[in-house]
Amino acid sequence: MSKRVRSREVCADCSAPEPRWASVNRGVLVCDECCSIHRGLGRHSSQVRHLTHSLWPPSQLQMVQALYGNGANSIWEHSLLDPSSSMSGKRKANPQDKVHPNKTEFIKAKYQMLAYVHRMPCREDDSVTAKDLSKQLHSSVRTGNLETCLRLLSLGAQANFFHPEKGNTPLHIAARAGQILQAELLAVYGADPGALDSSGKTPTDYARQAGHHELAERLVEIQYELTDRLTFYLCGRRPGLFLIGIVALSLDLSEFAKAAKKKLQSLSNHQFEELAMDVYDEVDRRETDAVWLATQNHSTLVTDTTVVPFLPVNPEYSSTRNQGRQKLARFSANEFATLVIDILNDAKRRQWGNACESPKENVELILQGIDGRHDSESQDNDQPDYDSVASDEDPSSESSDLSDGPITVQEFMEVKSALTASEAKIQQLLKVNCHLSEELRLMQSKGCSLEGQVVTRESDYDTTPSHSELEETGPLPGPDVAQPREEGGEGAAMPCTEDVICKTEQITKNIQELLRAAQETKHESFLPCSEKIRLAVTEMAALFPKRPSSETVRGSLCLLTASASRLHGECQKAAEHSPCPSDIQLVTQQVIQCAYDIAKAAKQLVTVTTKENNN
């Protein structure tokens, strides 16, 4: 089925014409504005992909289009179709509604609260109801009626239900019947392609025995999805892992990295599985952000609708795991790539070398994508360069305690940034809207003078070893560059808001120029753009006292200067090594991630400066 968006299609949430995004697990198409809200719900609520710019398995796209065409949206808006709903004040969003709060409230009610889904009559034993629904699903997947199966899943049917009489799962039945779209739907809802029937056969075995070879191959792809997706994120190709060793050799070694790798290896199989799943979700977030940036109108690019600073909270996970998931967003592109590499290598090690602690903790779904295409020596060379990521570990287990050992600057800044972001959900990109543009022009007309316009190198804020040292001694001066102004020491006043806004606007324009170059695949422009951004960042950092009294300012300056340095490094490597076309996507993602961090930190400094000066 063609990816082309037909003119008759409308957004499932607000009825805007020509929707360009799809929610895979909901079977609906949505417009850009509604998609911006879906992205903030989390993959457990809505898994979004662009219809033309995201990579799609053909049968999965066919599944979504078939669901949409057969009225899957009526499942999620069942009660709104009741004429009495208009009397109760319930109504669907429309294209003219504001994103916040109108569309946001409607979409959250629709997909998070399931407020409009048909409810089954209350029964004393809910497990009986779920079992009955699952048996209906088991029977229905042999047909092509996707909408019926989605309705059953929405009501609580289990995709991995093992039928006690039939001795198999719904995926086995769909595979035998050759229903590839049903198999796609079940997989989206967590069906295990490696599940065994009472005779020890998998759904793939069923498909092959029935002569459905295309479906059998697709089931294999689904089984390997996690490791293949991580590999594609690194190398821009699938399914081979042969490039991992080459990529890993370019990463730095450090004592912290070696300690982090040992902690990764000490995780139980269950904890390792959770970490791998969380990293998979973070890969999806970063790739979706890259597609979002590439498909938006850059004149209105940095708006509220782009803000997805970290993985949204999943209420089914513990607070510890959710905090660890959010911390992944603070990894630089290089650090995150190293974490992905180590997960792939450790998955291979666990599959080949270490027995699982128990059958229940088998991580077969993760491990089966590793097919041994690494060179044997790559495990010795692939040392990570990342800080440990919190998992939902057993607090009584010392070996899995990821908080022991020295605290790095990056780890400290990641924790602090995560807390700041959760408190204010701040702005990943600067708001460029009519109101702000008018305000900036007004301030510029008054003539913005830069106070103490000097240049500071990024390491002034990026190499602080700890929170206490930062407060006691402040950043160390460099021998060859001028330092930020020191008037008044730690108690020095904040720079004037107009100066900060002027520099912020300059940074924003340079970032937009970089993003336009990324969209137009003008990679030769990356380095000149990054040099402009770094110069603007150093000028902005020079406006602030050397030892700001505000912790938020210190954190934002650290993020600002460190991200500018990383951005310049990534662009410089791209210019020097001339990456092949298959690696361009990875380079672009890394550059965009750094630009995100710079814009976020700059916006935070504007906000804090305005607040401090008003007080």
Q: What is the per-residue burial (b if ≥16 Cβ within 10 Å, else e) of 16-39?
A: beebbbbbbbbbbbbbbbbbbbbb
CA distance 418 to 220: 37
What is the dihedral sign for C-alpha 528, 530, 533, 535?
A: negative
Q: Residues with Cβ < 8 Å from 522, sequence gap 6 or more?
A: none
Q: How many CB atoms lie within 10 A of CB 372?
A: 9
The per-residue pLDDT for 47 is 97
Average pLDDT (180-195) is: 97
Q: Residues with Cβ < 8 Å from 302, sequence gap 6 or more?
A: 429, 430, 431, 432, 508, 511, 512, 599
- Most confident of the ranges 362-376, 416-430, 528-542, 596-610: 528-542
User: 315 exposed, middle or buried (CB, 10 Å; 0-12, 13-18, 19+)?
Assistant: exposed
DSSP 98-136: -IIIIIHHHHHHHHTS-TTSPPPPP-S-HHHHHHHHHHH
Residue 549 pLDDT exceeds 70: yes
The H-assigned helical ranges of 425-525 are 434-445, 459-462, 467-472, 497-519
Distance of CA 429 to the CA centre of its chain: 16
Would you list the domain boundaries of the chain? 21-112, 127-235, 255-352, 497-614
Residue listed under structure tokens 């089954």: 120
CA distance 539 to 505: 12
Q: At 296, is the pLDDT very low, low, confident or very high (cuts 50, 70, 90)? A: confident
Q: What pLDDT, in 10s, does the model give residues 29-60? A: 999 999 999 999 999 999 999 999 998 999 99
Architecture of domain 127-235: Alpha Horseshoe (1.25)
- Most confident of the ranges 171-175, 495-499, 517-521, 551-555: 171-175
Q: Residues with Cβ < 8 Å from 470, sequence gap 6 or more?
A: 464, 554
Q: What angle do CA 149, 154, 156 make, to 5 degrees?
A: 100
Q: CA dist 124 to 33, 121, 154, 201, 381, Å?
A: 41, 10, 20, 36, 58
Residue 392 pLDDT exceeds 70: no
Q: Are 325 and 456 in contact (CB under 8 A)?
A: no
Fold of 497-614: Four Helix Bundle (Hemerythrin (Met), subunit A) (1.20.120)
Instruction: Name the superfamily (CATH) of residues 21-112.
Output: Arf GTPase activating protein (1.10.220.150)
Strand pairing partners for 30? 21
The per-residue pLDDT for 306 is 58
Share of the chain above pLDDT 70, in %: 67
CA distance 563 to 223: 36
Q: Are 26 and 46 in contact (CB under 8 A)?
A: yes
Structure tokens belonging to residue 400: 């899995």
